[in-house]
Amino acid sequence: MCSQPESFWRRETLGRALAFALLALIALFAPRAHAVEGLRLAIGDISHPALSANDIQLEFSAARSTLEVHIARLRLGDRSWRELHLSCPQASLSAQGVHCSGAQLGVHGRRLPLVLDFHADPAASRVAVELRLSSGAQVRLSLDDEGRFEAVLARLGLEDLSVLASLLSPPGAGELLRYLTRGQVNARLVWEPEGAGRARDSLTLTARFSELAFGTDDGLRAGEGLGLAVELAAHPTPAGWGWQAQVAWEQGEAYLHPLYLQAGPVLDAAGVFHAEQIEIHKATLALEGVAQLAFTARIGRADLSLDDLALSLSGGDLAILGPRWITPLLAPALVERLHFGGQIGAGLEIEDGRVQAFNVVFDAAELSLAAADGGRGFGFGPLTGHLPWLAGSSSRARLQVQGGYWEALALGAFDVNAMLQGQQASFETMRIPLLDGMLVLDEVELGRESEGWLGRASVAVEPVSMRLLTQALGLPSMAGLLSASLPGVRVSPAEITFDGALVMSVFDGYVQATQLHVREPFGVASHVRADLEARHLDLAQLTETFSFGSITGFVDADVRGLELVRWRPTSFDARLVSSAGDYRRRISQRAVQNISALGGAGAMAVLQRGLLGLFDTFGYRELGFQCVLAGGVCLMRGIDGSERADGSFQIVRGGGIPALDVIGYNRRVDWDELVGRIQRVIDDNVTPELH
C-alpha cells in the first residue's frame, strides 16, 4: 500500500494486458490444433515497474495435451524467483481459453508440494486458479471481467504456510513461522475496483485463526489454543489507504513476559495507512475490568515504533486490572501478595516516542500487601484523589486516604500532597494517626535513578502508649511509651536504611534500636540488621508481664549485630547483666525453676544447706547471661569471670541469706530448642529437676 494507490487490478494494467495478449495468441492456434503437433513460444523479456520476466519458454503438445512453461527469472515488486517451471499434464487450448489440471510447480529445481489447476478465458477476461496442498488445504484465486479479484485460503496449517512463505517470501514471514508451533487459518480477500455501481476501489479481508500455538526459545513468550477473528476493510484515498478493522481474541491464553493474558479482548479501530506510518484515528478496546478504553496513535511502518499515542481509560476495576496488568508490570515479584480494590481512571499522551503526560484518578481505591510469612502485612484505603504528571513542567498530586493498617496496627485518615517534577516527587509533611500517637513523615522525596526508584525521608513516632500497642499486637500488656526519631531514612528497591533511633520507654527503662538496615524489604527473604540497647529495665514488671515468676531488680542488655531473616534471628551477640546501683534484689522460687528450665538438663540451682524448698524468695548479688548466635547454635556464657574449670558458669550469683546460685553447664544450645524452652516456660510453667 502506498500514499498514491494504483488500481493494480484494472484491465488496462500492463501486466494483465500482456498476459491476455499471450493467451489470445495461443487461442488463435486452437481451432487448428489437430493439424499441428504443438506450439512453442519464446519471449525474451517482459518489463514493467511492477513486474518483469526474463527468458520465457512455453511449449504445448496437442498429442499429449501437456503444457510446459519455463521462466528464467520472475520479479514482482521487490520479490524475485529463478528457474520457475510449470508442468501441466492435462492441458487444453480452445477459443474458450486455456485450461490446466494437476499442474506441478518448481522453483530453482525444487518441486513444491502442491498441485495447481487454472482456467483462463481471454474473451471473457476471466482467470481462475486453485492450489491444492498435500495437507488438503486449498488456495483459490479468481479474476473476473469487472476486475474483481478474490483469494480464498481454506484450512491452511503451519506446514502449508511454510510452503507459501518459501514461495512468496513475505516480509517477516520467516521470523513469524520460526516461533509458531501449530495453527490453522481460513481467510477470504476481495478486491473490487471502481465501477459497476461501486464509487471507489475497495479491499476486504475476513480471516479466522484457530488453535494457534507459539513459543520462544527463552520461554518468555508463549501461547496455546489461540483463536482470532479478523475483519478488515480498506480503500485508497489521496493520503493513503483508509481502513477499518476489528480483531477479536476468541479463544486461548498467552504469556508475554511478565503478563499472563486470556481470550476476551476485542479491538475496533480505523485509520489510514501512509507510505511511512500507520495512523489510527480512533480505536476502542473491549477489556474485562474496564468500562471504556479508547485511543488514537501513529505507528512507524518500518520498525512498528509507537510515535504518538493519546489514551483514555475510565471505569477501571482495580480488583481485575491490578493482578493482571499493574503488578506484573511494576512489581512482578509481588504478584501473589499485592491486592487491589476500587476504581481507577487514567490518561496517557506520547509524542514523538516520548511520554508527555500521564494522569490517574482514584475512586475508593484500596491497596494491600500481605506479609511474606503469611501475615496481614499492610494496606491503605479507601483512597480518593488525582495524580497528574506533565513532562517539562510541575504538577500537584492530591490524595485522601481514609485509613490503613500495618499488621495488627490500625492507621487513621491522612492526606498526601506532592509536587511532581520530571522523575522527582516531593511530599508535604504527612501526619498519620497511630493509636494514641502519630507517625510523622517529613521531607519525603522520591526519584527515579539508574538503579530504580529511590526515596528518602525523616520519620518520627510521637509517643504511643505501650499498653495500647501491646494490646493491638496481642502481646502481654506493658506500660510505657514508644517513640522514634529517624532523621535519615533511605529507600531503594533492594534495601531500607535508617539513621537515628527507635526508642521504647518500657518497664521504667528504655529499649533503643539503632543501625537499622532492611534488605529486600518486600521480598520473601527480607533481611533486617540492627543493634539493640536496653537500660534499667525493671525486672519485677518484666517477669510479671511474661508470667516468669518474680524477680526484683534492674537489668541492662545489649544485642549487637542482630540479623533477622524472614523476621527470625540468625545471628547476634547478646549480653544481659544486672544494672549498677543499690536496689532490692530478690528472686522467687518459681523464677529460679524457670531459669533452670531454660538451661535444660545441664542447668541447676545450688542452695546453701539444701533449704530450697523452705523459702519462697532468695537474695542474689547479680544476674548475667550471654549468647552468641551463629549457625543455629547459641554459645552461652554467664556472669563475667564466673567460668569454672569444669566449664560451668554462673547465671545467678547468690547473695544474702540464704545464698542461691544458678549454674549452667551446657555452653552450646540449639537456638530453636532454646526458643522452644522459653515458650514452654511461659505457656506451661515447666518445673525442672533441681539439684
Please answer whether residues 507 and 552 qualify as being in contact, where contact means their C-beta atoms are separated by less than 8 angstroms. Answer: no
Instruction: Name the residue with higher pLDDT: 685 or 336.
Output: 336
Q: Are 536 and 508 in contact (CB under 8 A)?
A: yes
239 in any annotated domain: no
Query: Can you tell me the distance from the alpha carbon of 360 to that of 570, in angstroms, rounded to the nearest whole number?
Result: 43
Is 627 part of any domain? yes
pLDDT at 326 over 80: yes
Nine cell digits for residue 350: 506520547
What is the C-alpha separation between 560 and 563, in angstroms, rounded?
Answer: 9
The set of cell numbers assigned to 53 is: 520476466
Give dist(CA 510, CA 483) in Å, integer.
10
The pLDDT assigned to 172 comes to 55
**471 inside domain:** no
Lookup result for grid cell 512468496:
168
Identify the pLDDT of residue 506: 82
> pLDDT tier at 432 (50, 70, 90 boundaries)?
very high
Residue from 539, 538, 573, 579 nearest 556 by CA: 579
| Residue whose C-alpha cell is 542474689 | 620
Sign of CA dihedral 611, 614, 620, 625: positive
Lowest pLDDT segment from 96-110, 275-289, 659-673: 659-673
Count the domains in the chain. 1
Report residue 95's pLDDT band, with 50, 70 and 90 as the boundaries.
Answer: confident
DSSP label at 394? E
Helix (H, G, I), strand (E, B) or coil at 328: helix
Indicate whether 586 belongs to any domain.
yes
- Greater confidence (625 vs 318) lies with 318
Q: Is the CB of residue 183 less than 8 Å from the CB of residue 213?
A: yes
- State how far the Cα of 381 lies from the Cα of 403, in Å rounded to an integer: 6
Compute, in degrees rounded to 10, the torsion defined by CA atoms 151, 157, 159, 163: 0
Contact 215, 222 (CB under 8 A): yes
- Evaluate whether residue 649 is within a structural domain: yes
8 Å CB contact between 501 and 483: no
* 505-556 residue pLDDT tens: 888 889 999 998 988 776 666 789 999 999 999 998 888 877 777 889 999 9
Mean of per-residue pLDDT scores for the chain: 84
Question: Is there a contact between 433 and 414 (Cβ–Cβ < 8 Å)?
Answer: yes
Closest CA to 514 of 488, 495, 539: 488
Q: What is the mean pLDDT of residues 471-486?
A: 80
Residue pLDDT, tens place only, 650-683 = 888 888 777 678 888 888 888 888 888 777 766 6
State the Cα–Cα distance between residues 434 and 156, nearest whole angstrom. Answer: 66
pLDDT 10s digits, 200-244: 889 999 999 999 999 988 889 999 999 999 999 999 988 889 999
> SS3 of 152, please?
strand
Mean pLDDT value of segment 619-646: 88
Residue 365 belongs to a domain? no
Eight-state DSSP code of residue 195: B
Give yes or no for residue 16 having a pLDDT over 70: no
Cis status of the peptide bond prior to 388, with omega within 30 of 0: no
In the predicted model, what is the mean pLDDT of residues 348-356? 94
The answer to whether 38 and 26 are in contact (CB under 8 A) is no
pTM of the model: 0.71
Is 544 in contact with 580 (CB distance < 8 Å)? no
pLDDT at residue 230, as a whole number = 97
Q: What is the pLDDT of residue 449?
A: 81
Residue 603 has pLDDT above 50, yes or no: no
Structural domain span for residue 646: 507-684
| Best CA proximity match to 231, nearest among 264, 177, 267 | 267
Q: What is the pLDDT of residue 599?
A: 55
Higher pLDDT, 124 or 189: 189
Tell the burial category of 172 from Cβ atoms under 10 Å away from its Cβ (0-12, 13-18, 19+).
exposed
Instruction: Say how many residues make up the chain.
Output: 691
- Chain-centroid distance, C-alpha 492: 19
At residue 22, the pLDDT reads 47
- Greater confidence, 385 or 145? 385
Query: Where does 402-494 show beta strands of DSSP type E?
Result: 404-406, 409-411, 414-421, 424-427, 430-434, 437-449, 452-465, 480-491
The predicted pLDDT at position 612 comes to: 55
Residue 73 and residue 77: Cα distance in Å, rounded?
13
Residue 115 in grid coordinates: 498441485
d(CA 404, CA 416): 13
φ, ψ of residue 26 to 5 degrees: the values are: -65, -40
DSSP 3-state of 330: helix
Residue 220 lies in a domain: no
Q: Tell me, letter by letter, the H, E, C secondary structure of 59-109.
A: EEECCCCEEEEEEEEEEECCEEEEEEEEEECEEEEECCEEEEEEEEEEECC
- Asked if 250 and 228 touch (Cβ cutoff 8 Å), the reply is yes
Backbone angles phi, psi at 387, to 5 degrees: -125, 95
Residue 283 has pLDDT above 90, yes or no: yes
Confirm whether 652 is domain-assigned: yes
